[in-house]
Chain A
Amino acid sequence: MKVKKRYRKIIALSAAALGMTAALHVGDAMAYFTTYVSSAGGGTVSLGTSTLIHEDPVVNMTKQIMVENTSENPCFVRVGVFSGSIIRFSQAEGESNWSEGDDGYWYYGPILEGKSPDEETGPMTEVLNVEIDVPEGYDRDDFNVVVVQECTPVVYDDEGRPSADWNAGREAVN
């Protein structure tokens, strides 16, 4: 009886081992032809600008204004000339790239290119001549003229033309 029991155990274990072996499935060893490539690149966004306004003293009731780009990045510039209500302004004679906007600013049309690192001075705008016309009865030797200059980066519009977006952006909160 004892022997029979032992044999039964061996037979059962053998059957289990056989069953497990049969259940083992060797996966298909499949290989496919594949290949790959990759490439990467990029660039730097250089934005900072610095502009310098050149104002000559008033001579013959005319003020001459020029703006110099002292940074390496191209930009558009505009100039605001404010003086209260006692004087008027007019542009000097001849062709000029300056034009007066509806908002009181004077806009310089061409891109003011960036300064070359090898040069001491940067590209400058043409001269904006502002003739000051003091009405009769006012003091011609005592008046104030405030000049404000601004610049903005060159951006391209949908048609691919360089343009200035003076309303874009906001002062960063530091």
Chain B
Amino acid sequence: MRKERRVTYLLLALAVILLLGSAVGSTRAALTYYSENYTAEVKVSQIGVSLAENGNIVSKRDYDGDDWKTESSPLLSNMLGEGEKLALNKKYEEKLAVRNTGEIDEYVRVRIYKYWTEADSDKKLNTLSPGLIKLNLTHEGEWVNPDGDTSDRECTVLYHKGSVPVGGEVEFADTIAIDKDVAAEFTTVDKGNGIIETVYKYDGVEFHVNVEVDAVQTHNAQDAIQSAWGIDASALGIL
């Protein structure tokens, strides 16, 4: 009986030694298995888009490194010269274009909003048609407007046919004018002493033009455009 117990203890000691030996071995292996340090850089596709007005970038948003690089300034700030008054029906230069300032090709769309606000107020004026703000759209063959003629509407959406290459620029408007019909309603008042005053119903109203540009990658474009803009790009004919 004592002999059996001795054998048991012997086997147990042996097992412990074997276990320790194997653990140390694997630890050693683990310690010696480190490779040299390597630095790997994965370059992410850098998308970017800009809105240009008369050749100058007024708004920009490019992915640069690991951050977005943005710039923004108002539209139409140089429409009139110093002290110049807006003339009705006069065509002012307003060349608007989308420029691909990223590092990959992209599909682009433009949303244009036109509306009026009351004099010295942010309140929208619904009695004047957005059509009196005549932003002349150009290169119509290069853009798709799924809603047809929207010149009288507040919003116009244009999808560019085909992708815009890196550094490429696509124009969509060239002039802006305010229709003379904005002065159609007036009252003439004889103030006496030879003074005649003409008061216009829409004197002092403000016109507004907002432009939004969206860009999407060209890789897997059908799904990317469907996901980003919610439209069937193939059916619309822009791929």
Contact = CB atoms under 8 A, between A and B. Distances in A.
Interface string B176-203: 0110111111111001011111111111
A40 B207 contact: no
B208 to A, nearest CB: 4
Interface string A130-150: 000000000000000000011
B74 A36 contact: no
Interface string A143-172: 000000111011111001010010011111
A36, A157, A171, A174: most-surrounded residue (chain B CB, <10 A): A36
Contacts of A73: 85
A70 B194 CA distance: 12
A37 B204 contact: no
A169 B183 contact: yes
Given A38-B211, A39-B59, A39-B72, A33 B183 contact: no
A151 B86 contact: no
B89 A40 contact: no
B7 interface: no
A89 to B, nearest CB: 19
Contact of A156 (B73, B75, B87): B87
Interface string B63-103: 10000101011111101100001111111000000000010
Contacts, number: 197
A84 B216 CA distance: 75
Interface stretch (B43-51, B141-149, B231-239): B43-51
Contact of A39 (B68, B74, B186, B228): B74
A123 interface: no
B195 A70 contact: yes
A154 B88 contact: yes
B51 A41 contact: no
A114 B84 CA distance: 10
A50 interface: yes
Interface of A: 30, 32-55, 70, 72-74, 114, 149-151, 153-157, 160, 162, 165, 168-172, 174
